């Protein structure tokens, strides 16, 4: 559905050149749900703008739904839906009218557009709001309307640029319920950007991390957390001397990546916490070392980003 080769975008700022996106190679298969992560200024939005034909690449190539984003912009636009960060509907327009107009913009007859509008209103629980002005809708209702606008022409590919930003947890869960149900019904490929890392972790089949305009990781969330972050074991002992001895034992295990001692506590970073912990406890018991407490903390995608860049994705996003 998406393929890029050395996709690059440079901007001129006075006499200086800013590399916003550098040599990005991506492939997104038909039907995938892919999350694009990175801090503000990392190149996510620039990449999305090139893939949606809103911004011309400086160099490299990109094809979307089988068409070149530079040479076949109209063909690309016919096959994609795009839900940006701001509301896409006119505040003074009625909900159903906006959907009908959107369908007509894509060449549908008014009758066909009306039928499609009613389908989406039902699917996204907006039917009772059909004659309401957009300005009277809640934030969650507006975002559902934005999704409907992006799906009017039944695109095989949908771009969601931070679709749940600013929404409360209940509204976010409700929106994702609708998105996933529609995706299952239509087989839509989805490319998502979000700062809610638990959202990407739970929803996306693949996670792509971009930093400083370059792809620095591309895999499933589970694989990234296992390979780049790992589980954290927190082992508590009765005395610091015992902690040092347990740390030495931990360093001999092949699944262990890093060991740190803080007072009477041993912190162990490992690829397989559920395998490493019982093995470490067994070895410690054989040496006569009594472990007082033991805890496994599963990694998050923020741990992945911290491991890759030395920075927290949440902190850099907020900044």
CATH number, domain of 105, equals 3.40.50.300
Compare 248 and 303 and report the one with higher pLDDT: 248
Do residues 78 and 183 share a domain? Answer: yes
Specify if 266 maps to a domain: yes
* Confidence grade of residue 228 (pLDDT, cut at 50, 70, 90): confident
Final residue of a structural domain among 224, 245, 266 = 224
Number of domains in the chain: 2
pLDDT, tens digit, 9 for 90 and up, residues 21-63: 999 999 999 999 999 988 777 888 899 999 999 999 999 999 9
Say if 317 falls within a structural domain: no
Average pLDDT score over residue span 281-302: 91
* 311 part of a folded domain: no
Task: Report the relative pairing of strands 189-193 and 2-13 from DSSP bridges.
Answer: unpaired
pLDDT (0 to 100) of residue 165: 80
Q: Over 80: is that where the pLDDT of 109 sits?
A: yes
> Above 60 in pLDDT, residue 319?
no
Task: Let me know if residue 219 belongs to a domain.
Answer: yes
For residues 99 and 191, state if they share a domain. Answer: yes
Is 151 within the bounds of a domain? yes
Residue 303 pLDDT? 82
Count CB-CB contacts under 10 A for residue 317: 19
Computed over every residue of the chain, the mean pLDDT equals: 90
Confidence at residue 212, expressed as pLDDT on a 0 to 100 scale: 85
58 is a domain residue = yes
**Alpha carbon distance 225, 44 (integer Å):** 21
Please identify, among 224, 242, 260, the residue that sits at the C-terminal boundary of a domain: 224
Residues 130 and 152 in one domain: yes
Higher pLDDT, 228 or 95: 95
213-226: per-residue pLDDT in tens?
899 899 999 888 88
pLDDT at 229: 80
Does position 317 have pLDDT exceeding 70, yes or no?
no
Assess whether 111 and 127 both reside in one domain: yes
pLDDT at 302: 82
* pLDDT for the residue 211: 86
pLDDT in tens, 259-271: 999 999 999 999 8
65 and 182 inside one domain? yes
Indicate if 188 and 278 belong to the same structural domain. no
Domain range for 91: 2-224
pLDDT band at 139 (very low <50, low <70, confident <90, very high): confident
What integer pLDDT is reported at residue 172 of this predicted model? 84
316 band by pLDDT with thresholds 50, 70 and 90: low
pLDDT in tens, 242-287: 999 999 999 999 889 889 999 999 999 998 899 999 999 999 999 9
- 251 vs 212 pLDDT, higher one: 251
241 in the same domain as 116: no
Q: Is residue 60 part of a domain?
A: yes
Q: Bridge partners of 210? A: 215
Closest CA to 200 of 124, 271, 302: 302
Average pLDDT over residues 231-237: 94
Which position has the higher pLDDT, 309 or 148? 148
CATH number where 247 lies: 3.30.70.2470
Task: Give the C-alpha separation, 157 to 3, whole Å.
Answer: 13
| 275, 138: one domain | no
Pair (105, 189) in one structural domain = yes
Q: How far apart are CA 34 and CA 41, in angstroms?
A: 20
pLDDT at 315 over 60: no
**Tell me, what's the pLDDT at 108?**
95
Q: Is 155 in the same domain as 251?
A: no
- Compute the average pLDDT of residues 165-179: 84
Residue 201 shares a structural domain with residue 287: no
Please say if the pLDDT value at position 306 is more than 80. no
Shared-domain flag, residues 169 and 114: yes
Q: What is the pLDDT of residue 186?
A: 87
Q: What is the dihedral of CA 283, 285, 286, 288, to 10 degrees?
A: 130
């Amino acid at each position: 559905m998406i393929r890029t080769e050395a996709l690059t975008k440079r901007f001129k700022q006075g006499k200086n050149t800013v590399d916003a996106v550098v040599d990005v190679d991506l492939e997104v298969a038909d039907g995938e749900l892919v999350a694009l992560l990175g801090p503000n200024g990392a190149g996510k939005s620039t990449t999305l703008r090139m893939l949606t034909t809103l911004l011309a690449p400086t160099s490299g190539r990109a094809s979307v739904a089988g068409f070149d984003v530079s040479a076949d912009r109209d063909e690309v636009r016919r096959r994609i839906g795009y839900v940006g960060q701001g509301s896409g509907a006119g505040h003074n327009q009625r909900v159903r009218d906006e959907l009908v107009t959107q369908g007509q913009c894509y060449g549908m007859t008014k009758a066909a557009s009306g039928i499609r509008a009613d389908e989406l209103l039902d699917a996204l629980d907006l039917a009772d709001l059909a004659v309401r002005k957009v300005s009277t809708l809640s934030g969650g209702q507006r975002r559902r309307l934005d999704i409907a606008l992006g799906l009017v022409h039944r695109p095989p590919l949908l771009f969601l640029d931070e679709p749940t930003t600013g929404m409360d947890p209940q509204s976010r869960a409700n929106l994702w319920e609708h998105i996933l149900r529609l995706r299952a019904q239509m087989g839509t490929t989805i490319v998502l950007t979000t700062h809610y890392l638990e959202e990407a972790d739970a929803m996306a089949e693949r996670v792509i991390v971009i930093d400083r305009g370059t792809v620095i990781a591309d895999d499933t969330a589970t694989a990234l957390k296992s390979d780049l972050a790992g589980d954290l074991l927190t082992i508590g002992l009765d005395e610091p001397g015992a902690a040092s001895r347990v740390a030495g034992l931990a360093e001999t295990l092949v699944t262990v990546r890093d060991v740190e001692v803080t007072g009477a506590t041993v912190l162990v970073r490992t690829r397989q916490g559920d395998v490493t912990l019982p093995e470490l406890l067994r070895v410690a018991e054989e040496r006569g070392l009594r472990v007082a407490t033991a805890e496994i903390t599963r990694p998050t995608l923020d741990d992945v980003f911290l491991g890759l860049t030395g920075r927290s994705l949440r902190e850099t996003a907020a900044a």
